[in-house]
Structure 1
Amino acid sequence: MSVSTRTDPVTGEPLAYQGEQPHGKLDDLVIAGALDPDCDERLWVPQSESVSFRPLLLSVSQGYFVNILRVRKTGILSRHRHAGPVHALTLRGRWHYLEHDWWAEQGAYSFEPPGDIHTLEVPDDVPEMMTLFHVTGAYIYVDPHGGPTGVEDVFSKLDNARRHYAANGIGLSYLDSLVR
């Protein structure tokens, strides 16, 4: 880190960057209350009766998405293979993969490498699990022997959110603000 003048020598006020931003740079994205448990329920896009996600960033240009997954049931959620790396931060509850001996508990960070195949389970004593996932590439859903049964990526997430928001009075301009 280089040392530079951080305050105006005359006023003593902090100095912001004075140059131009790089050409083509996207605007910053800030979502106030992203972790607010009492947010508008319509922001949660259902995937099934007890599983939903809240999109935070849908990067169609880079092929990744960031969302909060909320599960309000116990049992097996999905078996899938990762086409790219996944970063996860468990916000509430706990979960694990049947194929691994670690548990993702509240406050835990986990990294899942590309190619990993595993089966997500939420245990019986967890009424609600919420995890922030940063997913690059796709989830390829597979049967117990590895045969593909479905795919989920930034484009399918965007399509699901677009249908849900349009049907539930959330302006599509809100969703468009999450697309990069």
Structure 2
Amino acid sequence: MHSHLLTPTALAAFAPAHHIHADALPWIPADTAGKSSKPLSFMPGNSGFVELLRMEPGVVMPLHRHSGPIHAWNLTGSRRLCTGELVGPGDYVYEPPGNTDWWKIEGDVPMVALVIVHGEVEFINALGEVRGRATAATQLQHYIAYCKQHGIEPVHSFVGQ
């Protein structure tokens, strides 16, 4: 046995990891044309979710507000934030709780980002009224409905955490 490997007894002290093969997950279309996601995790207690977010060139992420912090790492493509910054491949964006923004995909390559959402996302209109929400519960419901509609077995390692 290698000295860097843990014994079965030592391994039992660690919580089990959840390994997801993201390539095996479907891109699930959103209500907005040109926007889809691969759900990677639903946090316990409806406290947030983790996803790969994909948006096609020219698509706009509408005005929205975050109740908790957001971490987003662009893997491909670029997006122009409402403040003017261009976020490209390899760039990281932190959005604090209460942040309200919108952005647009630029260039000719789809944007794919790893997004960690704590809390919920409120989609708001120009008057600041909430017109929709994305939470761990709504994202999970959307995922389960998509799987059922397409005859796909949900990934049980993260469903219902």
Q: Give the TM-score taking structure 1 as reference length.
A: 0.78
Give SS of 1:156's match: helix
User: What residue number does 2:157 align with?
Assistant: 177
User: What residue number does 2:100 align with?
Assistant: 117
Match of 1:134 among 99, 103, 116: 116
Gaps of 5+ in 2: none
CA shift digits 1:37-64 (9 cap, x unpaired): xx45x61111033111000111133611
- Partners of 1:12 and 1:83 lie apart in 2 by 46
**Is 1:13 the equivalent of 2:3?**
yes
**Is 1:104 the equivalent of 2:87?**
yes
Q: Is the 8 A contact 1:94 1:126 kept in 2?
A: no
Residue 104 (structure 1) shift: 1.5
Residue 144 (structure 1) shift: 2.2
Q: Is the 8 A contact 2:76 2:109 kept in 1?
A: no
CA shift digits 1:82-108 (9 cap, x unpaired): 00000001011011321x232221011
Gaps of 5+ in 1: 1-10
Give SS of 2:142's match: helix
Could you list the structure 1 runs, at least 4 aligned residues long, displaced by more than 4 angstroms after superposition: none
- Check 1:14–1:44 CA distance in 2 against 1; reply closer, same or farther (3 A cut): same
Equivalent residue runs for 1:16-27 within 5 Å: 16=6, 18-19=9-10, 20-21=12-13, 25=15, 27=16
- Partners of 1:112 and 1:55 lie apart in 2 by 20
Give SS of 1:163's match: helix
Give SS of 1:166's match: helix
User: What residue number does 1:29 align with?
Assistant: 18
Q: Is the 8 A contact 1:86 1:135 kept in 2?
A: yes
Larger of the two Rg values belongs to structure: 1
- Partners of 1:95 and 1:103 lie apart in 2 by 6
- Partners of 2:149 and 2:67 lie apart in 1 by 31
Aligned residues: 157
Residue 147 (structure 1) shift: 1.7
Amino acid at match of 1:69: L
Q: Give the TM-score taking structure 2 as reference length.
A: 0.87
Amino acid at match of 2:158: L
User: What residue number does 2:38 align with?
Assistant: 54
Amino acid at match of 1:92: T
The sequence identity of aligned pairs, in percent, is 24
